[in-house]
Structure 1
Amino acid sequence: MNDDELINQEADEERFEDDEIVSTKPGYFRKLVALLIIVAFMGFSVPNLPYLLSDKLNFLDQNRALKEDDIVQQCKPAVVSIETVVTEGLLNTEVKRGTGFNISPTGRIITNQHIVANASMITIRFGDGRMYYSKQYKVIPDVDIAIIQIEGNALPTIALNMKDTVQSGATVTIIGNPLGFEKISQRGEVGRFYNIKNGLPQIFDINIPINPGNSGSPVIDNQAKVVGIIFASTNLEVNGKSELRALAIPVQVLIQQKPGSPGFQL
């Protein structure tokens, strides 16, 4: 709305005549007073509500700070938004949203299995507006990873660091789609490593708070290569305080093969 429209609207609002005010139903005023009381009560009861809401969106501040970062600029085009539709019965439909990243010019998308599981349709959207649809995906046995093959051409890609295992204390960047926002960049340090199953690489935590939609985000090292895939979050006690941290699967699971399983060829 421009300034002229705003002035005109304000002028229109001032044109109420006395008979219009008198003819307003009493019930309207009772509802208005009740609404004001509720709003005032919420303000006194939850004095930190604005703080809590802004604290939840702190990732937007870091995203702005990283907007011109070389690693972010190089990797962001290969990060995609994923939306899946899961239908169970005639009236039960669930829509799930997450993140993925592309590793092939013709389209090979890495994401989490829990995003695409049982999907009747998968929609992949690149930042330049290109959209692809799929119903097929492969999974990595025993880990929360899925690979979606699409038929694209000259798509932006991100490289994988299969050679070096990420170390505690390393600075990493994640790019994902938390809470409906797209291509949000966050940066933090790798923390501890955890065993999940014999024969599989250890998962690791990162001191980055993540939100719904971050699942499938790439974890990127200082060489602009992927070293892990976000799949969950956890609360850790750090210096006596509970701290929300991202959990990531090492990228090496993409070439993990087990006897009797087909594995996945990159």
Structure 2
Amino acid sequence: MQNGGYNMTDSDRDKLRRNDQNEKEEDFEPDEDFWLDEDEEDAEDGQPRPRTWIRKVIVWLIVAALGLNVLAFWPKVYSWEAIRFLIVSNTLSKDETLALYKDSIVTVSSGKSKGTGFQLEGGYIVTNHHVAGNGESLLVKSGLEETGVRAELSASAPSIDIAILKREATTEDFPSLKAAEDWTIGESVYVIGNPLFFNRIVNKGSIVGSTQLDGWDRPVLLIDAPIFGGNSGSPVINEDGDVVAVVFATQEVRRDGKREKYGLAVPMHEVTKLIEQLAD
């Protein structure tokens, strides 16, 4: 066959057929973007991908919810007053004498409850009745011990919210405090305990007087000092290092025409009478 003065050979015809096939294959070869889904094709047009912004919204909602929970929980654990007493405790704890007093303080736990106790001369541990409960599953732990040890309930006086404990077994000679029955209005005192989620926190205050509670037949002391949950069973220690009372609660009291919160503490002479009964 002739084409424009050129004779096409069989070899030329084969080349033409091969080129036609290649062009057809190239026409149907998928571009890379063909495999992208709809969201990704939209992203190429500058539009946000729906699934991406939905994920971001969900993440931010979760973060916001967690943040709100933290903010709601914070005032229950920390407050400016609590932060202040931590700062004061850190300063007071640098005093070597007060540091020794802290060694006699123990954490008393019974089931889910936790409070404070302290060791007196003679090996007895003093705490509150509402901390020790019925005496089951009692554990005490000082700052000198790595783990808690079992304790037994030696005596309890619910009417004055006092309990006396004894370690079941120990070979250690733990530091102890002495009891004093005398106190005066206005004298400076220290309160050492396990408030909130902290242990062996020391703060300073004063004895402002005594008060008679409804249902009680004996007066209790009013203590002007930072008292929080977990301070139950804390010793009130005078400047001589003797325990004059045991913290058990707080109460708002009207004084000088205004209501203020004070710590309530059982005078130590009530505690020593209970211990003397154990010795009889």
Match of 1:27 among 14, 36, 54: 54
CA shift for structure 1 position 77: 0.6
Deviates more, 1:67-76 or 1:223-232: 67-76
- Give SS of 2:225's match: coil
Residue 88 of structure 2 is aligned to residue 62 of structure 1? yes
Match of 2:109 among 74, 83, 97: 83
From the superposition, tell whether residues 41 and 146 of structure 1 become closer, same or farther in structure 2 (CA, over 3 Å).
Answer: closer
Unpaired runs of at least 5, structure 1? 1-17, 86-94
From the superposition, tell whether residues 238 and 129 of structure 1 become closer, same or farther in structure 2 (CA, over 3 Å).
Answer: same
Asked if the contact 2:152/2:166 (under 8 Å) is kept, the reply is no
Aligned to 2:224: 207
Asked if the contact 1:173/1:188 (under 8 Å) is kept, the reply is yes
Aligned to 2:176: 157
Asked if the contact 2:121/2:178 (under 8 Å) is kept, the reply is no
Identity score, percent:
24
From the superposition, tell whether residues 204 and 37 of structure 1 become closer, same or farther in structure 2 (CA, over 3 Å).
Answer: same
Give the superposed CA RMSD.
3.3
Structure 2: how far apart are the matches of 1:30 and 1:237? 52
- Deviation track 1:223-252 (CA, whole Å, cap 9, x = no partner) reads 001000000001134565543211100010
One-letter amino acid matched to 2:262: R
One-letter amino acid matched to 2:58: K
- Of structures 1 and 2, the larger Rg is shown by 2
Structure 1: how far apart are the matches of 2:259 and 2:89? 24
Asked if the contact 1:254/1:264 (under 8 Å) is kept, the reply is no
Higher relative contact order (CA 8 A, sep 6+): 1
Structure 1: how far apart are the matches of 2:200 and 2:189? 16
Asked if the contact 1:209/1:244 (under 8 Å) is kept, the reply is no
CA shift for structure 1 position 156: 1.2
Structure 2: how far apart are the matches of 1:129 and 1:109? 15
Q: Residues 160-239 of structure 1: matches in 2 within 5 Å?
A: 160-162=179-181, 165-196=182-213, 197-198=216-217, 200=218, 202-238=219-255
Asked if the contact 2:153/2:163 (under 8 Å) is kept, the reply is no
Unpaired runs of at least 5, structure 2? 1-42
CA shift for structure 1 position 139: 1.0
Count of matched residue positions in the alignment of Structure 1 and Structure 2: 225
Which of the pair is proportionally richer in helix?
A: 2
Asked if the contact 2:106/2:142 (under 8 Å) is kept, the reply is yes
Asked if the contact 1:122/1:133 (under 8 Å) is kept, the reply is yes
Residue 129 of structure 2 is aligned to residue 113 of structure 1? yes
Structure 2: how far apart are the matches of 1:141 and 1:35? 47
Please report the TM-score for the alignment, with normalisation by the length of structure 1: 0.73
Aligned to 1:72: 98
